[in-house]
Structure 1
């Protein structure tokens, strides 16, 4: 066995010195590429170095040292074909000690590469797209050093400039193609912040073009970066002190986390190291940013990816400052009502826009846990996310109609579309006015039954909706939101402050705090819940399962909730209970912390009520066993439904397959309602099902008398309750479930319309 050590790593600066001379030469582009592969191969002592460029939609071998020269301009690979195609298609670096072990390995006989074992390749990137691949191969199996890979990546940046200037690649390989359509179209997306708005399309950010990659004076470049960092940090400091939505709230934590990135020494150090290798300030920032983007593509954790977007936002800002090139659309100022278009946004970038003109935002990416979403919610700006290909479908200044409530964006609408949209907006305004008039009215049915209407919340700002909606209280406060927006695990003091603020804002109205539901499909970037990758995270190591294993997490939260509730009533609910012993153990954590505070003569809550969420179907089979310990039970219809149907609700193919009004779920819920009533357990529904008028009508017919829903749903649900006779709907549901038909939804809707029940 060959035990020779790997060669001494090469630095990017060694290679850049050679590339600078090649770039300055007066030879043609092909000659320069030939010299580049020779220079890199010599620098890393590699038998093979090759450059593939994207032309006519395929990757063509343009230059090589070590492979058959006859293969140059002959060997062509489709995107995704072989290792080279994989790199270009995924914009990802590969470093393999045995190339044939990779599932995408493909042998091309004309190149004569069969004798080479090791393989390393990096994408050549222009305007965030792979326009080529630089790769190296070695006879002996070995992985390339990290320093060598970084040198390849730096060389790829210089190559990007060379091949672009020489016009060796397809025009549309590097440039973002603009929209050529002219007719009206409808685009669909994902609801991030609800609302409707109209305005003209403005693209958030023109690309900063990097003219020069190789530095003439490294110290001068370093000074430019230091100066840009100072300016950027001043901008961020000003933003975090001038936010328009006041003091307190999760948006403050978001901006503090963002500010932490701006002052991150590790990030600035990586940029300085790139400058040390011989890159200009702009190229160094872009080099580190490319590395960040490639990491983002490899991250399965959506929350960590969201935090990486914040870092990209800062890198874009730094790049604009150091280059002196055109800023964002916010810098230029908005001249009319605007719908902002972007691939993604950082929270501080959104704050730069004129709130009077900015009516809505459409993102190619975006998620519910992204910092920009939390800021937009606080500002009241509707956002539609996950709308692909915006640059290809929308032109600057196109008229846009944004209806996030229906997950829709209308581009270049025709007159009939505009008329319909205006009618929708007018109707929405009238409905809101009608529902506002119901704020102080009781949710009492026609036959005199009072229904409890609570709201779901998760942010400090949500509590203000109690007064606006006239809701009875907060039936579900999702405590994990504080964990999702934070950069590090929230401590006891931070949690205590949040819970106390929520209780203060709620006044005499009750708040049910659900203990933290993290892990599984809500992972935290700073907290590894499970040592193994979970194939079905929603059914995995999450919520109370983590809390009981990592009891320090639950102890801290228990103490914070107990201290925050001193002199008040505390309602606490445990999620994902499957068996009674889990409830007992969770309650024991709180009781132990209560005893601790009592021993220290601390003021205690007046009373504590303990409840459980019924999300796991198994708990329904143990209700008689757990009932004596329970003060209340809340059905989480979102998770319960997916578990009952074995249907992942995040899978788009299954999203519409199973209906909440199917006999299976309705019969299951009826059984729970009857059993809870016979056992004397207070029962409520706190899932999305309760916030839809027709679905809520069915729940009333099953005997459900307590609902916890989104604030926006309170008005419509209250109007529905005030228009229905509960005896009638109970009789209908009983008959329907005795001999159900295929389409329950249509049958119930027809029944409701015949009785003039207000379904909104």
Structure 2
């Protein structure tokens, strides 16, 4: 696509890739609702509180409909997010505070409800915790639903009816919104707030709905009924575009759709270079229903199964049976193709709700209490997940992947827990795969520098290029002020990856890559030259990556790598890779 800088366009962040054209529907309810303040007499208080109860019942009925959709698409374990919203909706303390406010100020119930709930929002908005920011979104969503029911006697679903491709625009979204909207002819999503790594963004990617977040001027610039182009691939939104631009994008969308059909038809092909070097091409997934796409696009297995989503969608820690049922479903559906299950990689800010410890306010959560550190500090959480993984391994081919290992002692302790769980299952006469493989993520410079002491203790390694780049370059990849610093093609990153791959091969174990870099064409030359054993990408990238590999020659890639290793700047490297007419 040619670059376009039309006057009527805004930018944001790519939360879920894709390009769509549709009619905008702007949910103005996300903006602060103007509620009239009306004085009432004491004898009207009971009547006002009855109005609130009726409005809450209307919202509860709507949320139950959303719960059914979530359970149908994801399974019962994921509907806890609606339980959270219902708990907020029916909170008796809020009900009592609203009544007390009315009794003291003699005002109408809508005004009192808005004041009371806004106080909760203001308290939580001051917190640094991403978890509590998510709760703010839930509270604000319930507030708007209740106010709509109070003022207009309508619910959000009753006000939202569409019969054509629609791009939904709002201040922010909840997972329940996504589940409600994607089956209602919504082809794209735009929000003013939210991040690329939020669970809403993950769900949008899983459901293949193009989404742009962080579009700060969306509600100000977009009106319902306007035609929009949502180009998440290039992080642009075009409002009321010219016919010329519409035609150009229509051709691009048609081209992409045809190309996708070609990739699906070729799902049996393997990722083999022209001179016979074979990659194991896996898929990254977060939710069980993504397995359908994994099979549709012809992945060799699941190279990274992120297991965090069930934890994020529940009020309480998932129990062993819930985890086991989910893992078993994925493993059985993959029909003996490998499923690499990563143990939870969550930060303390998201997990603190499950414990009494105050770990919500870390100044730098990426460097703090997260992933394997939590698992080893909270062994009951770790053991529960390990039991579920091992039990599910009896129903197909599963492997365990440990994230954020930074020193040998962590790996040793993790392996000890795995062995302890195996012994317990043996005593209980519960079946599992006794030869299950255990690997570790390579994500920090500390592990890279000491890689030779790790590779003889594990069965495989998987390089997480996103975190490896972040930690090596000391850059927050979510901070827009330093995005120019974050770059996979820094000479240090390429040398680190090569060092890790060579160490793995010397130890006789496979080396995989599962970060964003695995799906970038310019990086494939590097991975061929290094003889990386496998790549793992999102399911709908599998066809394009495989097709590119099929056009390359591995021996020529080695010559390119020799030249690149002599280069001193990332610009030199990127320019060199981009100027290759092909990778042969």
TM-score scaled by structure 1?
0.71
Look up the match of 2:523: 695
- In structure 2, what is the Cα distance between the partners aligned to 1:700 and 1:520? 37
Question: 1:453 Cα deviation (Å)?
Answer: 0.5
Look up the match of 1:750: 579
| 3-state SS of paired residue (2:456) | helix
Matched, 1:219 2:46: yes
In structure 2, relative to structure 1, the CA distance for the partners of 1:646 and 1:756 (3 Å cut) is closer
Question: 1:306 Cα deviation (Å)?
Answer: 1.6
Deviations 1:611-668 (A, max 9, x none): 1111121112333322222111111111111221122212222223343223221122
Matched, 1:339 2:162: no
Matched, 1:396 2:224: yes
| 3-state SS of paired residue (2:433) | coil
Question: 1:201 Cα deviation (Å)?
Answer: 2.3
- In structure 1, what is the Cα distance between the partners aligned to 2:171 and 2:567? 51
Q: Is the 8 A contact 1:184 1:411 kept in 2?
A: no
* Counterparts of residues 355-366 of structure 1 (less than 5 Å): 355=183, 357-366=185-194
- In structure 1, what is the Cα distance between the partners aligned to 2:60 and 2:441? 45
* Counterparts of residues 96-175 of structure 1 (less than 5 Å): none
Deviations 1:459-494 (A, max 9, x none): 122222221111111111111222122222222222
- In structure 2, what is the Cα distance between the partners aligned to 1:291 and 1:497? 40
Question: 1:520 Cα deviation (Å)?
Answer: 5.5
In structure 2, relative to structure 1, the CA distance for the partners of 1:439 and 1:331 (3 Å cut) is same
- In structure 2, what is the Cα distance between the partners aligned to 1:456 and 1:249? 23
| 3-state SS of paired residue (2:478) | coil
Look up the match of 2:25: 202
* Counterparts of residues 226-237 of structure 1 (less than 5 Å): 226-237=53-64
In structure 2, relative to structure 1, the CA distance for the partners of 1:750 and 1:568 (3 Å cut) is same
In structure 2, relative to structure 1, the CA distance for the partners of 1:442 and 1:532 (3 Å cut) is closer
Q: Is the 8 A contact 1:633 1:684 kept in 2?
A: yes
- In structure 1, what is the Cα distance between the partners aligned to 2:397 and 2:262? 34
- In structure 2, what is the Cα distance between the partners aligned to 1:231 and 1:593? 47
Question: 1:272 Cα deviation (Å)?
Answer: 3.4
In the comparison of the two structures, how many residue pairs are matched?
573
Q: Is the 8 A contact 1:480 1:517 kept in 2?
A: yes
In structure 2, relative to structure 1, the CA distance for the partners of 1:237 and 1:734 (3 Å cut) is same
RMSD of equivalent CA atoms = 2.7
- In structure 2, what is the Cα distance between the partners aligned to 1:433 and 1:184? 35
**Whose radius of gyration is greater, 1 or 2?**
1
| 3-state SS of paired residue (2:300) | coil
Matched, 1:600 2:428: yes
Look up the match of 1:302: 130
- In structure 2, what is the Cα distance between the partners aligned to 1:392 and 1:321? 25
In structure 2, relative to structure 1, the CA distance for the partners of 1:451 and 1:269 (3 Å cut) is same
- In structure 2, what is the Cα distance between the partners aligned to 1:367 and 1:418? 28
- In structure 2, what is the Cα distance between the partners aligned to 1:353 and 1:531? 34
Any gaps of 5 or more consecutive residues in structure 2? 1-5
- In structure 2, what is the Cα distance between the partners aligned to 1:534 and 1:349? 29
Q: Is the 8 A contact 1:360 1:381 kept in 2?
A: yes
* Counterparts of residues 662-701 of structure 1 (less than 5 Å): 662-701=490-529
Question: 1:588 Cα deviation (Å)?
Answer: 0.6
In structure 2, relative to structure 1, the CA distance for the partners of 1:379 and 1:750 (3 Å cut) is closer
Deviations 1:484-539 (A, max 9, x none): 22222222222222222221222211111111111257555444776484333212
* Counterparts of residues 12-91 of structure 1 (less than 5 Å): none
Question: 1:739 Cα deviation (Å)?
Answer: 4.9
| 3-state SS of paired residue (2:579) | helix
Question: 1:437 Cα deviation (Å)?
Answer: 2.8
- In structure 2, what is the Cα distance between the partners aligned to 1:232 and 1:422? 39
- In structure 2, what is the Cα distance between the partners aligned to 1:330 and 1:349? 14
Q: Is the 8 A contact 1:572 1:610 kept in 2?
A: yes
Question: 1:360 Cα deviation (Å)?
Answer: 1.9
Look up the match of 1:433: 261
Q: Is the 8 A contact 1:303 1:369 kept in 2?
A: no
Look up the match of 1:271: 98
Look up the match of 1:512: 340
Question: 1:214 Cα deviation (Å)?
Answer: 3.0
Question: 1:369 Cα deviation (Å)?
Answer: 6.1
Look up the match of 2:288: 460
Q: Is the 8 A contact 2:553 2:583 kept in 1?
A: no
Which deviates further from its counterpart, 718-727 or 428-437?
Answer: 428-437
Question: 1:724 Cα deviation (Å)?
Answer: 0.5
| 3-state SS of paired residue (1:647) | coil
Q: Is the 8 A contact 1:205 1:328 kept in 2?
A: no
| 3-state SS of paired residue (1:708) | strand
Question: 1:446 Cα deviation (Å)?
Answer: 0.3
TM-score scaled by structure 2?
0.91
Matched, 1:258 2:81: no
Question: Which of 527, 530, 541 pairs up with 1:713?
Answer: 541
- In structure 1, what is the Cα distance between the partners aligned to 2:454 and 2:117? 53
- In structure 2, what is the Cα distance between the partners aligned to 1:663 and 1:373? 31
| 3-state SS of paired residue (1:684) | strand
Deviations 1:529-577 (A, max 9, x none): 7648433321222111121112121111112222222354441111111
| 3-state SS of paired residue (2:455) | helix
- In structure 2, what is the Cα distance between the partners aligned to 1:594 and 1:481? 25
Deviations 1:576-619 (A, max 9, x none): 11222211100111111111121122223242211111112111
Look up the match of 2:375: 547
Look up the match of 1:248: 75
Matched, 1:648 2:476: yes
Q: Is the 8 A contact 1:692 1:713 kept in 2?
A: no
* Counterparts of residues 343-382 of structure 1 (less than 5 Å): 343-349=171-177, 355=183, 357-368=185-196, 372-373=200-201, 376-377=204-205, 380-382=208-210
- In structure 2, what is the Cα distance between the partners aligned to 1:376 and 1:625? 40
Structure having the larger proportion of residues in helix: 2
| 3-state SS of paired residue (2:116) | helix
- In structure 2, what is the Cα distance between the partners aligned to 1:672 and 1:367? 31
In structure 2, relative to structure 1, the CA distance for the partners of 1:194 and 1:250 (3 Å cut) is farther
- In structure 2, what is the Cα distance between the partners aligned to 1:382 and 1:635? 27
